[in-house]
Amino acid sequence: MRRLDAMQAVYGELSECVVVTIMGAVAAELQSLGHRPNFFYLQHAMGLASSLGLGIALSRPELTVVVLDGDGSLLMNLGGLTTLARYRPRNLVHVVFDNESLLSVGGFPTATSTGSDLGAIAAAAGVPRTLTVRTQDDFRAGFMAALAARDLTTLVAKVEAVGPSGYVTDLSLLENRYQFQRYLKDTQPKA
């Protein structure tokens, strides 16, 4: 399974959610499918996408937050999994694209290539629903089940270590940030 195909399989659902991605290939590929104002790309600060998603999920329980994480990023903030599990936002789906490598900086293998199991780590951290999938159909089914479950889910998608030819897109960091904040403001429930 390619990450781009996995995102394509749930793109319609992502349009209805608040989406936070990590940097690099995930951000560029999601933009290649079509940027939306409810998509935020954390183009640095590796590891913090899941923490940022937690901040949104706690602040706005009426929204469904989807974090598109990666193995390299998640390995930098494994402690964050314990915080995520501790506060158990039921409106957060944590997707981890695991290509077993740090693709955008030359493809160096991460520890998932030698057996570290991010789904098992998430489960052991206390995340109530975890699933690891390897095909596009299983990914879509797992993602839809996570949305329907209304409970914190870590969905690990094993994907090929392939990505786009470049990572810089036409969308500037601050344009994305302020557009995303405006989207969240405009969707705020009326008091």
* Contacting residues toward another protein, per CB under 8 A: 20, 40, 42-60, 63, 77, 79-80, 82-83, 86-87, 173-174, 177, 180-181, 184-185, 188
What is the nearest approach in angstroms of another protein to the Cβ of residue 169?
16
Closest distance to another protein from the beta carbon of 4 (Å):
25
- Single-letter code of the amino acid located at 178: Y
Comparison of 40 and 143: residue with beta carbon closer to another protein: 40
CB of 167 to another protein, least distance (A): 15
Which of 89, 52, 83 has its CA nearest to residue 68? 52
Residue with token string 């570290």: 116
Start-end of H helices in 46-104:
49-59, 71-75, 78-87
Q: Give the HSE-up count for residue 11: Cα atoms under 13 Å, Cβ half-sphere.
A: 16
Shortest distance (Å) from residue 110 CB to another protein: 18
| Alpha carbon 180 to chain centroid, angstroms | 16
- For another protein, the closer CB: 58 or 120: 58
Strands in the chain per DSSP E: 18-21, 39-41, 65-70, 92-98, 101-102, 108-109, 129-133, 153-158
Amino acid at 32: S
Query: What is the closest distance, in whole angstroms, from the C-beta atom of residue 12 to another protein in the complex?
Result: 23
- Of the pair 111, 173, the CB lying nearest another protein is at 173
- Residue number with CB closer to another protein (4 or 176): 176
CA distance 146 to 83: 19
Amino acid, res. 24? G
Q: For residues 146 and 140, what is the distance between their CA atoms, to the nearest angstrom? A: 10
Pick between residue 77 and residue 99 the one whose CB is nearest to another protein. 77
